[in-house]
Structure 1
Amino acid sequence: MKRRLGISIYPDHSNIEADMAYLDTASHLGFSRLFASMLEVSGSKEETAAKFKTILKYAKDKGFEVILDVAPNIFEQLQISYDDLSFFKELHADGIRLDVGFDGNKEALLTYNEYGLIIELNMSNDVAYLDNILTYQANKPFLYGCHNFYPQSGTGLDYDFFVNCSKRFKRHGLRTAAFITSSTATLGPWNINDGLPTLELHRSLPIDVQAKHLFATGLIDDVIIGNAYASDEELESLSKVNRYQLSLRVDVNERNNEVENDIITHNQHQRRGDISSSLIRSTEVRKKYAHSPNSLHSNEDPFQFGDVVIGNDCFGKYKNELQIVLQPHTDPRKNKVGQILEEEKFLLKYISPWSKFRLEKL
């Protein structure tokens, strides 16, 4: 399943010119998913339609898939029937996200709506909610899952809980989504906004590291910025994230020779299948650079977790093999050529047997 980046807008708290400018920038950088909140609607049905229709049409013309976040009170307030979703189709939405669930049969019936609207479910519950819906023979191609975001500091999901919830959807092959947070954006659905991530551990991390983490879990297809408006710099950094394999940044050693720097950044790395708990070994590169000399340097001190090392001329057949250190050790046959960026070191646990990964020069 192809992976996507997304943004969020809050038409009841913003102006259309700012939303359009945000959509322009994001579209140019390859974003293609839009989360639009209707939870704060306060006007009439006609006023709401006028407000949302223009901006959602603009988003559609920019290539975004548009999902509207709705709740039962919106249906009551705007006098919309669950048996007739034409209102949302007229707004140019591709689907609706049900913030609150029903009995299972209702959700299943909604997936057969005559307008082909996607029905997105709340993923942030570790219960058999989805299984119940599927027993009612839901139309799976029109069923998505999306986690909540959490505006209040300390209330985001714990990682293990997030994994359990996500697996319930992923094992059925459904498209999944979760939120990351901008450190500069201030707009959300409520008057509390300590950031809008799904995972609590993401609240203080750089935005691109948050995205790398969600993609690395293999559980999330669409990564959406929860708050608006992320800065141009944040959008650009996200646009450069490799969505399909982990790419880690390395603070390289100034003493490196040309061969070492080339090994680090200009190769597709793959961890050996017969793994060790001490090292991540990328062994194919040693064959490519078997005849390239590599003199000794930077190996006097013990290597630490997250250090990147390459075998030197004293390492026989293992010369020019690249390794990432998982357990501290010393070995004069290796040169320390860099270290994984501190805030990305926790991602090393996602490099499994046969995992493909890239390294980028900081």
Structure 2
Amino acid sequence: MLGFSAYLHSSLKKADLVMFDKFVKAGFKGVFTSINLPEDDPEVLLANLKSLGQLCAENKLELTLDISSSALKRLNLDLPRDIKTFQDLHVAMLRIDDGISIQEMAQLSQEMKIALNASTIVQSEIDELKSDQANFDNLEAWHNYYPRENTGLDVNWFNEKNQWLKQNGFKVMAFIAGDENLRAPVYKGLPTLEENRYENPLVAALNMNELGVDRIYVGDPAITATTFEQFRNYFVEDTLQIRVHLNQAPDYIQSIFHQRADVSRDVVRLKEGRLLNKTEIKPLNSGLRRRGSITLDNVLAGRYQGELQLVKYQLPADNTVNVIGQIVDADIGLMKYCVANQAIQLIDIES
């Protein structure tokens, strides 16, 4: 499940509504927000939460609210006494930050979904939740995001922790960073894993999916228009869009291709390449094939003329192979997800 973040420091403006609509069209199903920032005016927070909740209800999006005991105190609210206040605001899940006891969390889980802190929960707390008759069908484990560089989680620790959480029956959630309008005050992205901080958000999302994460949320409030298209095409159309710089490429190069059913070690072979080619391809620019190169076999390749490939690992020059383009650096990681029969579209962008 994909989700995005919307913050409550200001009312929803036209630009926010446009961004919201783009996320919905790109296949996102959940929204994360927070009332934990002490500098935010409590009355403004609740008014904006009401607007956000209504918008989520209209778009059938699951709204998760990050709370803490200190934030509840500022709003003159108490849990579990005031749980209906949040339910009336269309909040579907409460993400518990701190200051709320295990017994209270167990009681809350009888009424609605509760997200525990995935990074800090330990076995004794799970045992206590069981003892307090928590509804584990309503419990999930959500990781934090880390605004400051170098503080994001280590992937090996993260993977081991998640395996343990899943063994205990939890769904796991984690954040990836956006790539536009990064959140103040640090402006370095809001990822869970440090290695994802500056990656293409789609690469980061597919990495999370590969790690078995159940919910993947963009921590920052925005992604770029081209990233939206990549998400929409992959998660709605099942087509992996890869941005490239092309040079003297055939007209059909931006068609929808498919990785062959038999996956090669060194290259992604686009099976329609030879079928689409109708002309003699002269040898041209047969140089070093760097990682991410796009290549087209020329007439010297005989029956392989027209073979179209994406290069996974650097390969030497070959006079039968023309280099016709290069995948942009941010999208090279997408080659890892060119699985058997995957639909692939190369999108030429300005150099």
Pick the TM interval, shorter chain.
Answer: 0.7 to 0.9
Residue matched to 1:238? 228
Q: Quick one: structure 1 residues 21 and 62, their matched pair in 2 at CA, closer, same or farther if it must change by over 3 Å?
A: farther
SS in 2 for 1:94: strand
Measured against aligned partners, the alpha-carbon deviations of 1:180-218 in whole angstroms (never above 9, x if no partner) come to 13443444xxx555432323344444xxx1233222442
Change (3 A) 1:240 1:286: closer
- 1:155–1:129 distance in 2 versus 1, CA, 3 Å: farther
Change in Cα spacing, 1:217 to 1:139, as seen in structure 2 (3 Å) is same
Conserved in 2, the CA contact under 8 Å of 1:112 and 1:139? yes
**Is residue 2:108 matched to residue 1:118?**
no
How far does the alpha carbon of each residue in 1:326-352 deviate from its partner, in whole angstroms, 9 at most, with x for none? 132222222222221112223434445
Gaps of 5+ in 2: none
Displacement of 1:69 in angstroms is 0.3
Scaled by the length of structure 1, the TM-score of the pair is 0.74
- Does the CA contact (< 8 Å) of 2:286 and 2:321 recur in 1? no
Match of 2:331 in 1: 344
Query: Residue 284 of structure 1 aligns with which residue?
Result: 271
Are residues 221 and 130 of structure 1, via their aligned partners in 2, closer, same or farther at CA, if it must alter by over 3 Å? Answer: farther
Q: d(CA) in 2 for partners of 1:327 and 1:297?
A: 20
The answer for unaligned runs of 5 or more in structure 1 is: none
- Taking the aligned partners of 2:80 and 2:87, their CA distance within structure 1 comes to 13
**Match of residue 213 from structure 1:** 204
Q: Distance in 2 between matches of 1:315 and 1:284?
A: 16
Aligned counterpart, 1:6: 4
Letter in 2 for 1:335: N
Corresponding residue number in structure 2 for 1:322:
308
**2: CA distance, partners of 1:248 / 1:129:** 46
TM-score scaled to structure 2, two decimals?
Answer: 0.76
After superposition, the CA RMSD in angstroms is 3.8
Local SS of the residue matching 2:203: helix
- Is the 1:311–1:320 contact (alpha carbons within 8 Å) kept by the matching residues of 2? yes
**Secondary structure of the equivalent of 1:56?**
helix
How far apart are 1:67 and its partner, in Å?
A: 0.6
Q: Retained in 1: the 8 A contact 2:175–2:190? A: no
Partner of 1:153: 149
Q: What is aligned with 1:272?
A: 262
Task: Tell me the distance in 1 between the aligned counterparts of 2:338 and 2:126.
Answer: 31
Displacement of 1:293 in angstroms is 4.0
For 1:344 and 1:33, the matched residues in 2 are separated by 25
Q: Which residue of 2 aligns with 1:90?
A: 88
Between the aligned partners of 1:356 and 1:200, the Cα distance in structure 2 is 28
- Are the counterparts in 2 of residues 272 and 280 from structure 1 also a CA contact under 8 Å? no
Question: How many residues matched?
Answer: 335
Change (3 A) 1:23 1:164: farther
Q: 1:70 to 1:305 in 2, by over 3 A?
A: same
User: Which residue in 2 is equivalent to 1:307?
Assistant: 293
Q: CA deviation at 1:306?
A: 1.4
Deviations 1:105-161 (A, max 9, x none): 765554332xxx222233345966897689678655534443211122222223333
Q: For 2:106 and 2:239, how far apart are their aligned partners in 1? A: 34
User: How many Å separate the matches in 1 of 2:244 and 2:30?
Assistant: 30
Relative to 1, partners in 2 of residues 1:331 and 1:21: Cα closer, same or farther, differing over 3 Å?
Answer: closer
Q: Where do 1:166-177 residues align within 5 Å?
A: 166-168=162-164, 174=171, 176-177=173-174
The one-letter code sitting in structure 2 at the alignment partner of 1:198 is T
In structure 2, do the counterparts of structure 1 residues 166 and 297 end up closer, same or farther at CA, with 3 Å as the change threshold? Answer: farther
Kept in 2, the 8 Å contact 1:56–1:92? The answer is yes
- Equivalent residue letter for 1:237: T
Deviation at 1:93, TM superposition (A): 0.7
Q: Render the CA deviation track for 1:45-69: whole Å, top value 9, x for unaligned.
A: 8886455334422332244321100
Q: Residues 59-98 of structure 1 correspond to what in structure 2 (within 5 A)? A: 59-75=56-72, 78-82=76-80, 85-98=83-96
In 2, Cα distance between the equivalents of 1:216 and 1:271? 22
CA distance in 2: counterparts of 1:347 and 1:70, whole angstroms: 35
Aligned 8 A contact 2:12 2:51 in 1:
no
